[in-house]
Amino acid sequence: MTPTKLKPVDAVIVGTGVVGSILAKELADAELKVVALERGRVIDPQHDFASPYTFDELKYDRHSDIFQDLSRETITFRNNAREVALPMREMGSFKPGEAVGGTSLHWGTHTRRFLPWDFETRSRTIERYGKSQILDECSSQDWGLTYEELEPYYDQFEHLYGVGGKAGNLNGEIQPGGNPFEGPRSREYPNPPSSMNYAGTLFANACRELGYHPHVNPVAAQTQAYTNPYKLMLGQCIRGGFCSSHACSMGAKANPLTTVMPALLKQANFELRPLSNVIKVNLDSDGKRATGVTYLDAAGREFEQPAELVILAAYTFNNVRLMLLSGIGKPYDPATNRGVVGRNYSYQSAGRVTLFFEEKVFNPFMGGGARGTAIDEFNGDNFDHSGLDFFGGAYIAVASSGAMPIKSIHVPPGTPRWGAEWKRAAARYYQRNLTVRLHGACQSYRQNYLDLDPNYRDANGLPLLRMTFDWGDNERKASAWITKKAEEIAKAMNPSLMSAQPTAGHYDIVPYQSTHNVGGAAVGADPATSAVNKYLQSWDVSNVFVIGGCNFPQNSANPPTGTIGALACWAADSIKDLYLKRPGPMV
């Protein structure tokens, strides 16, 4: 099939999530002609998610209505290279989106910054503890980009998304009520923190008894009505639950549809093309310059969109797969430890302690986003790892995100899995349980990577992306140690019963854990170990920028979206202020 060649544009952007929407707006404001290609459909949250339809947990959370259509494209998975990878046929461990607005349509709104240590994980760990603290197979590396460089862009993103929270470190001065372990920030959050509910108060009191410093999670579910720098108004969160896995009919959840798109769509030099699935970045004869992209529309017709600048702004898996399909960068080979595309794939470790009470009632159905209370004493390198056989850590938290009735049923250990006794326990303990959670870092390893599957193809006949991943001993040991700290907090809350579950055994792709898939197109200072330079520009094709969670060389304990948003703002300024003035390699 010969594709239909369209009129050239200045920039073509693949994906309309957090990254794609910000890049499109900033480049359109710089008077570039911009086209954004999105393979998903257009969603109008106020119509499509109007009450009471938004409360359909079965449709959205269980049947994946706004998630990626796995019948057309999925990934294959195996724990190690000795196994044959098999396709993921239904959503499990993670839930990538597929609509204008991307995965952030249904995100939980938790907007922590990474710690300064997270950007220099390898060098700081070796400096403090020596090389023996890091396993030989661990490939975690410094970003080549520091917290100090990214701080203004964290601030920009937080104000764009109306994040509510309390600063813990303002320009180096520790502030009461905030997280004292965070990196210095230049100003306060744009919105006040959410109030602490009963579960959060119980957790906070127990933490204080043990000498810890509890603080309220920063969230982008608006704590008050807010108008952002693009002059778009967001409503206040009413704590109706049904937040994560759902879009918000109140317009209170910050995402591209509430913070960027209404302003962007008014600009004559911007065009949005939904239901447009990009299958390749086109390169010139020597493979050093992109000439545009090829995509398929909803009818399967093939189009070529020429462009001076190509920006890959999709989900981690899709960015990496497009690089591999297009021949941008050398594919990673775990046998030789050479190549960069697919290297340093990582995820998010976890752990939890579930508490049951006989008298305390928590009304868990009232909540929204990632509202909750946390401590950071065991995150990053905030504690001394001397004598411990791991590095990195986790924050410990109690969330108040709204307990949906299907997935939020917890019963005490020993309860039958079905029948009348199970029903009685489910009804009794729905309001009488809470979970103390670990949200942990995950280092990268030589044996964990992404590549093209040799056996399975998508609906268009293209190879699926293959994930080879398992937990490292570092993550298992860190989770076991920090889970014991969480158990101490849990005991101080005086539950009737409690059960602990750290990360252990092999990674399982079936149960949901987090949609925090990162790596595969890592940022770095060395082109031998990174796919993009500090400006998120491809080392090999200078007019291609690859931006998103795929840039993380390993994963922090903190959720990725705030950092992804900061990277988008950083890249937008880098393109406008540096690249457009002198196109070509920036490093």
Tell me which residue of 582, 572, 584, 574 sits closest to 13, measured CA to CA. Answer: 572
Between CA 529 and CA 32 the distance in angstroms is 32
Helices (H), 240-315: 256-259, 261-264
User: Which amino acid, residue 571?
Assistant: A
Tell me which residue of 162, 163, 166, 165 sits closest to 228, measured CA to CA. Answer: 162
Q: What is the DSSP pairing of strand 34-37 with strand 270-273?
A: parallel
Residue for token digits 């794609």? 20
Residue 516 among the catalytic residues? yes
Residues 6 or more apart in contact with residue 445 via CB below 8 angstroms: 135, 137, 138, 139, 472
Length of the chain (residues): 587
Residue for token digits 């290279």? 81
Residue for token digits 């040991």? 477
Cα 500 versus chain centre, distance: 25
How far is CA 485 from each of CA 268, 383, 395, 480, rounded to the nearest angstrom? Answer: 55, 12, 11, 9
Backbone angles phi, psi at 265, to 5 degrees: -65, -15
8 Å CB contact between 117 and 557: no
Tokens for 82? 């000795």
Tokens for 131? 């090389």
Catalytic, out of 110, 410, 439, 516: 516
In this structure, how many other beta carbons lie within 10 angstroms of the beta carbon of residue 19?
34
Residues marked as catalytic: 516
